[in-house]
Amino acid sequence: MAENKGNYSANNIQALEGLEAVRKRPGMYIGSTDSKGLHHLVWEVIDNSIDEHLAGHASHIDMIIHEDNSITVKDNGRGIPTGMHEKLQKSALEVVMTVLHAGGKFDKDTYKVSGGLHGVGVSCVNALSSYLRAEVHRGGEVFEQEYGQGKPKADVKVIGKTDRTGTTVTFKPDGEIFETLVYSFDTLANRMREMSFLNKGLHLSMTDEREKDENGDFRRVEFYSEGGLREFVTFVDESRTPLISEPIYVVGKEEGVEVEVAMQYNTSFSENIYSFVNNINTREGGSHVNGFRRAVNRVFSKYAEDNGMFSKLKFKVSGEDFREGLTSIVSVKVPEPQFKGQTKGELGNAEVTGIVSRAVGEVLGHYLEEHPKDSKKIIEKVILAATARHAARKARDLVQRKNILTGSGLPGKLSDCSSKDPVESEIFLVEGDSAGGTAKQGRDRGFQAILPLRGKILNVEKALEYKIYENEEIKNLFTALGVTIEDKDGERILNTEKLRYHKIVIMCDADVDGSHIVTLILTFLFRYMKPLIEQGFIYIAAPPLYLVKKGNTKVYAWNDEERAEITKNLGGDDGQGVKIQRYKGLGEMNADQLWETTMDPETRILRQVTIEDVNESDRIFSVLMGDEVPPRRRFIENNAKYANIDV
């Protein structure tokens, strides 16, 4: 029979059995097959254990990263039922592990609220794992079933007796599916810490069997919170100076929706809001965040107006003024949440807006009456924010209008590329005029632009917004990139329609000063041009640290391990006759060396800057660039082994 590729008939319709659909289109179920998707597998398993805690049955959750990057999650909940499922005529454990949309989450008598909403969680993990083992302690017996790529290797069997209850799941992500199989300790630990704050009274632990300390013990962290969100907001704000004596705490319940909010005013200039629904981080916000903001605007505005505190202002106070320097955690438990989009990033339940607004409004009203000193500080901060925003808009308009009136408005220091296509164009932000000169000589003028930055740019973490428009280097960045900041619906947004380069490369010396300048630039980009990071336009160049030479042979090394290996290969164990040059700065390189090691697309190493966790990134920037020294010292000590430090 001749093959007819143009035909579309009944024979072309595929009915995927069981978990085949998940393996065929993993992105539909876990978002992606990169590092984010890999970590998502862990969240799905942990969410099941968290749901047991929310139902009042689990007090401990332990996670282990094994040496081969397989994961074990163990809880002391009720244990997944193992009895025969009437309809499917197989063990309920096998049903949960192998059938999509199967689980106790759909029965409101079993789980009042739940994070695993679609009933696809653990079965997806099973489908995307080369191996998974489920062990259930229930009814005095230990049950076990093993799977390969989602398929049972044998029936559920009893392997022993027990005097406890709970579920243990061990899984190894499938190398056929995922681009990377290596788990990040920090990513997992940050989420576990978050979970401990959101679920006060829950013991969480994490052990990493890939790493041992000097005593030969595995790396281990434990998380437990009694104060919940109050401790959470204090932790997030550890590097900021509080404006009020203690966090404002809200708890309420209406129509089955539980509301918990902690908020803390500080002396910084940015709003930081962390929002959750049934422990799921809603990064895009939603109706619960709208309700919170509505209450803050309404209650503070009424208090200030009633007390004549805005009488001298000649311009209107906007919603964002009430939230400048406000860190808040908004957590709601909703019996039947509706999310916008597959990733559960935004809550859609309209009724939640009013419920949160009423709960927060009532507590804030009492707070303002009972704490007149703190209330006065907050309103003074709001007035300062409004005044600064007004000044910032004037300064911003002046800079942006000047660019329009003077033609191209491009800074004189910019050596632009000839290409006008942003997709193929790239700009290097280079530390200092000396390195800038070398980069200009070594670049490909067709698509590479160079903007030298003189000295260290302004630390925007400590500066009012209008001050940044007075800084020459920051003004040059705005004009060179072609982006503008605009006010829309009371919010500040970045307009990227006229962005001139789709690769923005920070290129600094590989020393302490260079690292500091990189951090200053990243802080500015994170605070004022975050969409450029989110859209993948920001990169950090990786110039080599060493040039290893013997005779006419030259080899570059990017770290100490490479240098040692190259030295050994060229000169034997003692390295006689090998010369090593340590590059302290980009200016020490010849133009052709800078091109071949750091700028040539064929050979260079570029590190793309991504944001895996906006809230954690916010906290780290405030730790590194804020006023408080102890948190910064702790961070550097904990991460020193990952850094290149010249003494």
Distances (CA, A) of 271 to 344, 379, 412, 491, 530: 22, 15, 35, 11, 14
Asked about 509 being catalytic, the answer comes back as yes
Nearest to 248 by CA among 64, 374, 129, 142: 374
SS3 of 544-585 = CCEEEEECCEEEEECCHHHHHHHHHHHHCCCCCCCEEEECCC
Query: What burial class does residue 167 get, using C-beta atoms within 10 Å of its C-beta: 0-12 exposed, 13-18 middle, 19+ buried?
Result: buried
In the chain, count of helices (H) and strands (E)?
A: 20, 29
Cα 482–617–375 angle (5° rounding)?
Answer: 95
Tokens of 225: 């919170």
Per the residue annotation, which of 94, 135, 260, 431 is the catalytic one?
Answer: 431
Helix (H, G, I), strand (E, B) or coil at 64: strand
Cα distance between residue 199 and residue 278, in whole Å: 10
Cα distance between residue 614 and residue 433, in whole Å: 33
Asked about 444 being catalytic, the answer comes back as no
Asked about 513 being catalytic, the answer comes back as yes
Per the residue annotation, which of 444, 513, 588, 628 is the catalytic one?
Answer: 513
Nearest to 236 by CA among 279, 285, 270: 270
Per the residue annotation, which of 511, 562, 588, 613 is the catalytic one?
Answer: 511
**337 with 105: CB under 8 angstroms?**
no
Cα 402–406–409 angle (5° rounding)?
Answer: 80
Asked about 431 being catalytic, the answer comes back as yes
Per the residue annotation, which of 94, 208, 320, 509 is the catalytic one?
Answer: 509
Nearest to 69 by CA among 164, 161, 181, 158: 181
Active site residues: 431, 509, 511, 513
